[in-house]
Amino acid sequence: MSSRFADKLGSNYCPTDNEALEIKDLISETKPQLTLLDTQIAALENSLAVLRAERQRVSGFIDAHQALLSPIRRLPDDLIREICVACCIPTERNCVLSSSEAPILLGRVCSSWRAISLATPQLWARLYLPEPIFQGVLRVSDKRRFEQRIAAARQWLARSGQCPLAITLVGCNQRTLAAREFTSTRFIELVMEFAARWQDIRLIIDTASLRKLATLQAVDVPVLRSLYMSYYREDFNEETQSLGRATTPQCSSFIAFSGNGVMNLPVLPIRWQQLTHLALEIVLFMADRDGRVNSAGLLDVLRRCPRLEFAKLILDDEETPASIQELPPDYVEMNVLHTLELACVSAAPWAFTQALARLSTPRLRNFAIAGHFRYTIPSFDCTPYIANFFSLTSQLENFQILLDDSITSSDLQAMLTHMPTTVRKLLICDTDNVAFSLDFAVGLPVPTSALVDDVFTSFMGGSTPRPSLEQIVVHRCVRLSDASIRRCCDDPSIAERFPALRLVLVRDQGANDLSRRSQPVFSPWHGLPAEEDGVDPAASTAFGWMEDWKF
């Protein structure tokens, strides 16, 4: 198509009256051609629609027959069952009451898989069960959903047949009296119905549920292997102490966490000699009349556990070093201990050096030390005791230090200097509340971190080669300058002493903050970390600062 107005198209040209008539005639002559093209396109589109429909029919026919040849259909039921048990169940936590996860999800694939899942008790032998939280008036719908969860949990556990059970019960202190009276001890009573098959049990419960639990005897839990217990109360009475009678010859793990309690360990009828895992988190257990646990008390506990492999312990020593002379002269031999996390709730240098001075841990691979409170204590050289402990630790690979202002720069330097050369990962972290201390002379906060440039430079520039050290993580140590780190990293002599070192990571104040998604109060994931929906809270390390740098 040609037009003498081609050079005017797309411009602001205004045609004359005669040119306007000519343009109208040109458009009228071209419109029939456009109509013909539209008709042809419509016919082709109809043909394409017919062809597409036919293609979909043929493709569906092929896919339906191809599905019959799927390899999964040829697998026998027992092999599918083994695959489901080995690959479909979470390994880092117990299973959640949700249709979006196995084993319930497996039953929604097809009728055959549903039959397989229901006939496989191993799929139902692990359960994570959070108690719903009622935040206001107890509504009829809330009661109905509560009963539904009770019924669903009972049906779940009934499907486990005779398999040993792993259960995590996350209870709560209801906010209203009506809610407390309604929920009462329903969940712990449900779980106790299956006590004969308890194997690995984690319980976070209130006082009423704790009293129910204390009625159990060893004969009631014949296959119990590990027990985690978290409770909140002001005392540790005889009912609670009687819980230890539930430990059996097979029970190798005892973990206790108290938000507001006093535990007298010596009176607990626990079979210490069979324990392989022991964790006492934020628990005050009394070794003498003033309620403290000194180094002697801690060593007494460890001496009772010759088979201990993993230990999280709280230590509360005197404010003076006099008690170190009172410790037994013999060493406590912990020949199979591979992980030790020691939290000190008093003068940290006294606490861990007095205990470590009498410990022999030849197979220790993971060691963490944390201090939490500050006391005014006299100057004391901890170096000999630190050196003695590390000299008896020849396989240490991971070393973590949580600083507070009771750990001085000299203490830290002694730890770094005598740290075994086998260490592969080193973490040094300042606590949030002690990164600064108030200087009353000027009324301004001043840094108090023990990790200063001189300590870091002395460690990096020391004469001891460290061929195994691969990673150093420094977290919130505000007195350590970037310039000091850069100088050490650029020093070629340091590269010779640290040939395997690939990363020095310095984190700022907010690097460890994690956003949390809100969850409905009836969420089956309630109590699990929102980021992962997959880590049991009881499985985390003893100190929150270690969460992203686990052993």
Cα–Cα distance, 275 to 537 (Å, whole number): 21
* pLDDT attached to residue 546: 38
Cα–Cα distance, 199 to 160 (Å, whole number): 13
* pLDDT attached to residue 42: 95
* pLDDT attached to residue 512: 36
Q: Is the entire prediction scored with pTM above 0.85? A: no
Q: Which DSSP letter does residue 132 get?
A: P
Using an 8 Å Cβ cutoff, are 423 and 396 in contact? Answer: yes
* pLDDT attached to residue 273: 79
> What do you get for the CA distance between the two ends of the chain, in Å?
78
CATH number of 171-546: 3.80.10
Nearest to 197 by CA among 166, 176, 175, 171: 166
Buried b (16+ CB within 10 A) or exposed e, 467-483: ebbbbbbbbbbebbeee
* pLDDT attached to residue 40: 95
Pairing of strands 284-285, 277-281: unpaired
Quick check: helix, strand or coil at residue 344? strand
* pLDDT attached to residue 173: 64
Using an 8 Å Cβ cutoff, are 114 and 108 in contact? Answer: yes
Side chain identity at 292, as an amino acid letter?
A: R
* pLDDT attached to residue 60: 93
* pLDDT attached to residue 533: 39
Quick check: helix, strand or coil at residue 442? coil
* pLDDT attached to residue 290: 44
Using an 8 Å Cβ cutoff, are 311 and 255 in contact? Answer: no
Cα–Cα distance, 170 to 93 (Å, whole number): 13
Tell me the domain boundaries of the chain: 171-546
How far CA 381 is from CA of 172, 328, 409, in Å, comes to 46, 20, 12
The C-alpha angle 192, 115, 144, rounded to 5 degrees, equals 45
Tens of pLDDT, residue by residue, the chain (551 residues):
788 888 888 888 898 999 899 889 888 888 999 999 999 999 999 999 999 999 999 999 999 999 888 888 888 999 999 999 998 888 888 999 888 889 999 999 989 999 999 999 999 999 999 888 776 667 787 788 888 989 999 999 999 999 999 999 987 766 566 666 666 688 889 999 999 999 888 888 877 787 788 788 778 888 888 877 776 544 444 444 545 545 544 555 555 544 434 445 555 556 777 788 887 654 444 334 344 556 777 788 888 888 888 888 777 765 555 545 555 667 888 899 999 988 776 655 555 677 787 888 999 999 988 765 445 455 567 778 888 888 888 899 999 888 765 667 777 888 888 899 999 999 888 765 443 333 333 333 334 456 678 888 888 888 888 888 888 888 777 777 778 877 877 788 888 888 888 766 665 544 333 233 334 456 666 666 644 433 333 333 333 333 333 44
Nearest to 400 by CA among 365, 439, 432, 426: 426
Cα–Cα distance, 102 to 232 (Å, whole number): 33
